[in-house]
Amino acid sequence: MNTQHRIYALKNLPPEVVAVTFAKCSRSPETFDQIAAELTAEKSAAFNKKWAVNYGHGSVAEHAFMNIAIENVSLMAVECLQSNRLGSYTEKSSRYQIYNRERIYVPNILNNDPELKQAYLATIHQLFDVYEKSIEPIKGAIEKLYPNRAGDPEAVWQAKIKSKWIDVCRFLLPNAVLANLGMSVNARTMEYAITKLLSHPLEEARHLGADLKRVALEITPTLVKFADPNEAYILNEQYLRGKAWSLAQDLKAPEFTGDNKLSVELVDYDADGEDKILAGLIYKYEPISFNAALAKVRSLPFAEKETMFRTVLEKLRNIYDKPPREFEYPYYTFDVLLDQGAYYDLKRNRIMTQTPQLLSGEYGYYTPRLFSQVGLGADYTNAMDRAHQTAKLIAKKYPYEAQYITTKATARRFVMKMNLREAFYFVGLRSRQGGHFMYRRVAQMVYDQIARVHPMVAKYIMVDKS
């Protein structure tokens, strides 16, 4: 019997063959390369159909990986796709690229109403008129705010400040602009993503789901074959939207927020979170019950608890050094109001639960001060007011499609629930210099809220308040 330690790559094998090769090791004594040598695409398809599809062993599909290029889909469709948090995504950045008014999505459903379609297109053009008009003045203002004091070559300096002026101009971009993204995902996650997209109220999302299924079938012919619209998802969306409307009729309507009101409210947290972390760390190393460990921690003096946290956390060098897994015990739930552009970036922090509201314009929009400083304040306000008026007009018939004409400046409200371990990373990543100024402030406010309720541990979160 060969007991030699071996680690090697399985090369040049179709994804479904890889999936079956790994799946067969549970019952076969042969090595992986021996198993793979005996397989064909046909044998692999038959195995996947029997075990992954018929018997529901979905973990088999997790070994079949695919890389998909997606081009010319709207930001709204990208948001739908990226709600599948187990995929990996990289997309065109609105912080580093200038957008073009010709690359816009127009919902087909507006063809049923020529007046609404005309209002939609006219609003798009007004937003882009101001967007294009603002680029040089905003860029010039940023150059004055961030002069080249280090004496860098012109190209280097311009590269350093480019995101700063694009960050301001991008507030005018509607959510109808088209983007490109790359998606890396296993077949199990892809099947669920396709099912969700095919069941989505937005026609564009459904078309995206159909296209993804067509391409995925070329790579994994068996494992995504039965990804179809899910009646439960469709009916639940319809029921809950109607139920929410009926229950909210006697609740206070949202106040118009005016300019630049950003809100992060801690609405729920685990009051015993710090004690539970320490209890978990003790429990891990001794044969005792969790309740016994928790009772012991609660009896400890404050100074001893502080010492334990300091000893564990002061060794972390940067945000990529992770606290122990037990820091996932405490959870924090935040009700957040910020601009859609910042939300669009923050949604990529996926080790959390996010519940966003539809983009409606009900909360107003944000106005960077630089627009007024360069003489474009009225142009900006007129374009943004028109976008929200058009969105509300379209929403009377098509509430989901109305989101396309809202902008990155539109105030978006969402619930964000994360554990403390994720908060270490989220705050450290999103508060640091170089990030967009709006989500930096959100990260700083999240830190402030955690520090208020759990000061012992919060002091070790690497927040950048510069």
What are the tens digits of pLDDT across the range 232-245? Answer: 999 999 999 999 99
CA 206 distance to own-chain centroid: 20
Using alpha carbons only, give the angle 419, 338, 139 rounded to the nearest 5 degrees.
120
Does 1 have pLDDT greater than 70? no
The fraction of the chain above a pLDDT of 70, given in percent, is 94
- How far is the CA of 299 from the CAs of 207, 296, 326, in angstroms? 59, 5, 19
- Kindly state the helix (H) or strand (E) to which residue 132 belongs, with its residue range: helix 114-145
Return the number of other C-beta atoms located less than 10 Å from residue 350's C-beta: 16
Transcribe 323-361 into DSSP letters. Answer: PPGGGGS-EEEEEEEEEHHHHHHHTT--SSEEEEPP--S
Spatial separation of the C-alpha atoms in residues 220 and 363, rounded to whole Å: 44
* Average pLDDT of the chain, as a whole number: 91
Residues 6+ apart with CB under 8 A from 357: 412, 413, 414
- Kindly state the helix (H) or strand (E) to which residue 409 belongs, with its residue range: none
Spatial separation of the C-alpha atoms in residues 443 and 94, rounded to whole Å: 20
Residue 55 has a pLDDT of 44
The DSSP output letter for 224 is T
Nearest to 335, CA basis, from 282, 265, 409, 420: 265
Does 92 have pLDDT greater than 60? yes
Residue positions counted in the chain: 466
What angle in degrees, to the nearest 10, is found between the helix axes of 377-395 and 114-145? Answer: 150
- For 51, the token pair is 């075990």
Q: In what order do the strands lie in the sheet with 331-339?
A: 263-269, 331-339, 411-419, 353-356
Q: How do the domains of the chain map onto residue ranges?
A: 1-63, 273-327
Return the number of other C-beta atoms located less than 10 Å from residue 450's C-beta: 25
pLDDT in tens, 345-361: 999 898 999 999 999 88
Residue 435 has a pLDDT of 87
Nearest to 216, CA basis, from 234, 239, 197, 244: 197
Q: What is the mean pLDDT of residues 93-106?
A: 88
The DSSP output letter for 259 is S
Q: Do the beta carbons of residue 262 and residue 337 sit within 8 Å?
A: yes
CA 412 distance to own-chain centroid: 14
Nearest to 86, CA basis, from 192, 179, 181, 14: 192
Pick the range with the lowest mean pLDDT from 46-50, 218-222, 260-264, 281-285: 46-50
**φ, ψ at 331 (rounded to 5°):** -120, 150
Spatial separation of the C-alpha atoms in residues 417 and 23, rounded to whole Å: 35
Q: Do the beta carbons of residue 390 and residue 426 sit within 8 Å?
A: no
Residue 454 has a pLDDT of 98
Does 148 have pLDDT greater than 90? no
Q: What is the mean pLDDT of residues 184-207?
A: 96
Spatial separation of the C-alpha atoms in residues 398 and 388, rounded to whole Å: 14
